[in-house]
């Protein structure tokens, strides 16, 4: 089963990601969906805006998939999707789905996937607050720069 990596301005679909990793040998599918919330530190968030260099971001996502398969060799399917552009409140900006024979490796692989994505993938987030205030956000994970193993 091939890994599915997408960086796109189009809305993301959890159902499509899950369908991509489904397999008769997989007894577990774990997912993570990161959505835009309507507030941050007392400010009203109107939307998020993501920018990234697609070829480099997709390459890094593929590297994360390789790392997941090295750490959890029984993983069956991996889908990693990230949205670019404006992402409204309640909409998904990132989706990760991992299937495996058993739940523990799927759960661990999803957690590793999102943490490593936030530390390594060159995608930047701008928060747009009410009142036309905007702030570029740094992922705390960038400070530690989780290495791809």
Annotated binding site for substrate: 102-103, 118, 125-127
Q: Annotated binding site, which residues?
A: 102-103, 118, 125-127
Owner of token pair 């309640």 = 90
d(Cα 147, Cα 73) in Å, to the nearest integer? 19
Which of 36-75 are b and which e, b meaning 16 or more Cβ less than 10 Å from the residue's Cβ? beeeeeeeebbbbbbebeeeebbebbeebbebbeeebeeb
């Amino acid at each position: 089963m091939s890994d599915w990596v997408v960086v796109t301005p189009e809305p993301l679909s959890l159902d499509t990601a899950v369908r991509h990793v489904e397999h008769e040998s997989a007894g577990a599918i774990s997912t993570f969906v990161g959505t835009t919330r309507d507030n941050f530190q007392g400010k009203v968030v109107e939307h998020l805006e993501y920018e990234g260099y697609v070829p480099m971001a997709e390459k890094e996502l593929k590297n994360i998939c390789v790392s997941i398969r090295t750490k959890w060799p029984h993983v069956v399917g991996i889908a990693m999707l990230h949205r670019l552009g404006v992402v409204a409140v309640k909409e998904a900006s990132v989706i990760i789905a991992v299937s495996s024979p058993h739940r523990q490796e799927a759960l661990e692989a999803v957690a590793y996937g999102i943490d490593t994505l936030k530390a390594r993938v060159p995608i930047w987030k701008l928060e747009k607050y009410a009142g036309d205030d905007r702030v570029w956000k740094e992922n705390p994970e960038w400070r530690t720069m989780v290495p791809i193993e």
